[in-house]
Structure 1
Amino acid sequence: MFGIGIDNSIAAVPETLRLAAQADRQGLDLFSVSDHPYVAARLDAYAVTGVILGRTTRISGMANVTNLPSRPAPMLARMVTSLSALSDGRVVLGMGAGGSWDDIVRLGVPRLSPAAAVRAFEEAITLIRRLGSGTGPVTFDGEFYQVTELEAAPVAVPPIWTGSVGARSLAATGRVADGWLPGHAADWLSERYRASRPVIDEAAAAAGRAPADIATIYNLPGRITGTPLRATRDGDGRWIGGSPGQWIEELTGAVLEHGAGGFILFPTGGDPVDVTLGRWAEEIAPAVREATAGRGVRPGGTR
């Protein structure tokens, strides 16, 4: 699975729409937009997603990740099932428990403790799943959400990927999610990944799920250069990029040796972004797909 992170600032609207169309045309699987509803200079993530899905034909869209405290679960369920119906299933539900609480409370949302925020996060995913696929009417009496005789949408709930970081939310991911986006742009060689993924796997197994069914999809900042770099990682071991050939070698190894399920590129400078996007979509993605056929995931999270 290959995706692209796109700018959702108001100032970048023309370029954002142009690059999303290019990504669709060049065969990428997914576009990703951030969700920071307390920042006035940014467009609403779901408004951006809906407009782009309406202008494209193949690519899927995702808020990376949804700011759950500002979007109550029953309404979020209605929104993502509606987008799925309108786009023929081209949507992924990215979910976060909420991190910037000083900003979130400025929206009028009551502050939750870290532990309560994770409980609300897991409860929301459980409720959202029940509010799709026409399995209603749904009555749900949870700690944070209560609905009574609410009809479920006759549309499948999109795959749910989380941006979990702490041990509690990682365990919740193992119990109820379809995919995981490691926080802080951690990659497959990072200590954060090595310490976090076992928490997901153990929780999944304890819940009777196959850990392999929970894909790991990486938010991956980096440059794609016209010529090879002497070093593709910095002094701390963080990936910084390189030529298409260097990217192909690195990502092929990430899939075959570390079980990576997908990559969302966030360009970090260098050549114009449309050139970078072209190299990503037309050179790197096809080569890695060919080298790892059958080992990755599609936007829906299935291997």
Structure 2
Amino acid sequence: MTTGKVRFGALLEPSPDHPQDVVELAELMEQLDYDVVTLSDHPYWPERLDTLALLTAMAVRTERITVMSNLLNLPLRPPPVLARTAATIDILSGGRFELGLGTGAQQMWGAIAAEGGPARTAGESIEALEEATRLIRALWTSKTDVAFDGKHYRLDNAKPGPEPRHEIGIWFGAYQPRMLRVVGTIADGWIPSSPFLPPGALPDANRIIDEAALAAGRSPGDIGRGYNIEGTFGTGSGFLEGPATVWAEQLAELVLNKQADTFFLYRAASADFLRQFAAEVAPAVRELVAVA
């Protein structure tokens, strides 16, 4: 996904009873003109089907919509395997895969360790994410064997490839200053969630990202700004608590203030909700942004 245009998507959550239904929802989202469909990743939950397998199914059942992880659990996914799986999905989809990558939620480290994953501190998990990002990009782009000797990962002249169909963006989730600076330094995009980072906190976080990008010789405008958004259509006065017209005004304001450019409906993406948002909110946001 390129930046500079407002985009809409959803973070779908597979049902334990009918996990394959998310593939049909992805098809519906394409019909409704959404831009991107995403899945979270909890490989330590046995009731969940594999995220990358589901994203592959979505990719082959659709033709236009971008498919994306939001976010993959790095500790349980070796970077070389992840690089090749991501490239494979991108090739099969005709260049429609984006890689959202996470350090692993701190509250899930027990479950991660139970499956043979590493036990990392918060600082070590950020180091590992930085190393993995460099390693993955090298395996996508290098014309020679890849050697890598990091603190958390090591490659001994590994063969690169396959080459993705397009330049896959790597997006991070981040909330704390150190991780936000990593976003600005090396990430292609950022995805926080509104329940954990409300709109009022976005300017300070974006400022940290922008400053880190400039310090690294990057343009802040090249970094996508995603936002997992949660709300209800109602009569409240808070963020995304009012009618569709208020949703449109609030989201357009975030776009115009350069706080977000891609919105993912979070936790409430039933078929009916997806239809209502596509009909009443998305076009209104685009119109408000276009005339501003």
Shared fold (TM-score, shorter chain, > 0.5): yes
Is residue 14–residue 20 contact of structure 2 (8 Å, CA) maintained in 1?
Answer: no
4+ residue segments displaced more than 6 Å: none
CA distance in 2, matches of 1:152, 1:282: 44
Task: Map 1:61-210; keep pairs closer than 5 Å.
Answer: 61-99=67-105, 100-153=108-161, 154-155=163-164, 156-183=166-193, 185-186=195-196, 189-191=199-201, 193-210=202-219
Kindly state the Cα deviation for residue 82 of structure 1 after the two structures are TM-superposed: 0.8
CA distance in 2, matches of 1:294, 1:40: 48
Q: Provide the residue aligned with 2:274 in structure 1.
A: 277
Aligned length: 282
Deviates more, 1:181-190 or 1:202-211: 181-190
Which one-letter code corresponds to 2:219 in the other structure?
A
Deviates more, 1:163-172 or 1:55-64: 163-172
CA offsets 1:95-150 (integer angstroms, 9 cap, x no match): 11112211211111120111111101111111111111353322222222221332
Fraction of identical pairs, as percent: 35
Kindly state the Cα deviation for residue 294 of structure 1 after the two structures are TM-superposed: 11
Is residue 66–residue 98 contact of structure 2 (8 Å, CA) maintained in 1?
Answer: yes
> What TM-score, normalized to structure 2?
0.89
Which one-letter code corresponds to 2:235 in the other structure?
R
Segments of 5+ residues of structure 1 without an aligned counterpart are 234-238, 296-303
CA distance in 2, matches of 1:88, 1:96: 25
- Matched residue SS, 2:129: helix
Is residue 187–residue 218 contact of structure 1 (8 Å, CA) maintained in 2?
Answer: no
Q: Provide the residue aligned with 2:222 in structure 1.
A: 213
> What TM-score, normalized to structure 1?
0.86
CA offsets 1:150-184 (integer angstroms, 9 cap, x no match): 23222244111101222222111111101111246
CA distance in 2, matches of 1:167, 1:248: 29
Q: Provide the residue aligned with 1:298 in structure 2.
A: none
Deviates more, 1:65-74 or 1:210-219: 210-219
CA distance in 1, matches of 2:277, 2:126: 35
Task: Tell me the C-alpha RMSD between the 2 structures.
Answer: 2.1
Is residue 8–residue 45 contact of structure 1 (8 Å, CA) maintained in 2?
Answer: no
Segments of 5+ residues of structure 2 without an aligned counterpart are 1-6
- Matched residue SS, 2:275: helix
Q: Provide the residue aligned with 1:6 in structure 2.
A: 12
